[in-house]
Amino acid sequence: MTNQEFKDTLWEAANALRGSVSAAEYKYPVLGLIFLKYVSDLFEAQADVIRQRLANPKSNLYIEDEEIREENEDSFINDKIFYEADNIFWVPGDVRFEALLAKAANADFPQKLDKAMATLEAENPSLKGVLYRDFGRLELEEGKLGDLMGIIAKIDFDPAQHGSRDIFGEVYEYFLGQFARQEGARAGEFYTPKSVVNLLVEILAPFRGTIYDPACGSGGMFVQSAKFKDAHAKQVGKKGDLPIYGQELMADTRRLCKMNLAVHGLEGDLGKTYGSTFTNDQHHTLRADYI
């Protein structure tokens, strides 16, 4: 199965479960669960990275004595600092994807998901106010959330096999595009296709300077600009600098943007709140190099 066929199959299976729930409402829990799978997989993989560093003489964590190394391994693996140092989100055991999937048959499963997302936000300040936490209010038939998680469980974010952030980005952007097609343009909100985003970034060629998107949506322009900057830095051998500023009208879409930035290891100033750039400008003193 090709990568595209896999994404198509994943989408069709996930979309078939939404029943009478609108695409606009269904989008946020689906993307939230994909995010949970992503951060859980990377957290689990980081434990192996730490073990390898403890056994690697070139690592600053190296412990030469094998017996002492084995005795101290668990303390290193359970130390938050060795995850944060590599920009890996801290995911407590009871809120990891597989642990929650095992509880999918419980009657209070939606509430467990809400609590898990709240815990994930509390443990990772950059995710504060970002994650979907209304599973308990989602009007899906009983058992559908568990079925949805079973479908998402098929995605394997393994950093040893591929660039997991890129794979997450592909799945994330693909689902956003598919939802946008189903929703159509609502309340003047439009989804910019990835191909158009790529073209605009190539034309602007952002490498050094401030970038601003006054209608940033889910943050596609920011992510692609960062990719352009990194690719250009490799070519010229110099590090680029690209501070990110943006604003978004819709509160839920703003949260998607913050999630997208967090996953790609990017920091951006999206203002204090959502709102129209015309009537509630969050960056009225900003002078940007790229808009």
pTM: 0.83
Residue 287 lies in a domain: no
**Do 173 and 214 share a structural domain?**
no
DSSP 132-150: ---GGG----TTHHHHHHH
Question: What is the pLDDT at residue 69?
Answer: 87
CA 109-112-115 angle, to 5 degrees, is 155
Residue 289 falls inside a structural domain: no
Compute the distance between CA of residue 47 and CA of residue 44 in angstroms, rounded to an integer.
6
Q: Which residue has the tokens 């709102």?
A: 275
214 shares a domain with 90: no
pLDDT at res. 218: 85
Of 231, 239, 247, 227, the C-alpha closest to 291 is 247
Taking each continuous run of H as one helix and of E as one strand, the counts in the chain are: 11, 3
Question: 285 lies in a domain?
Answer: no
Task: Provide the pLDDT for residue 264.
Answer: 80
pLDDT of residue 189: 64
Beta carbons of 33 and 26 less than 8 angstroms apart: no
Residue 131 sits in a domain whose CATH number is 1.20.1260.30
All residue ranges of the chain with pLDDT < 50 are 187
SS3 content of the chain, % helix, strand, coil (to 5): 55, 5, 40
CATH number of the domain where residue 248 is located: 3.40.50.150
Range of 173's domain?
3-179
Q: Could you tell me if residue 14 is inside a domain?
A: yes
- Structurally, how many domains does the chain consist of? 2
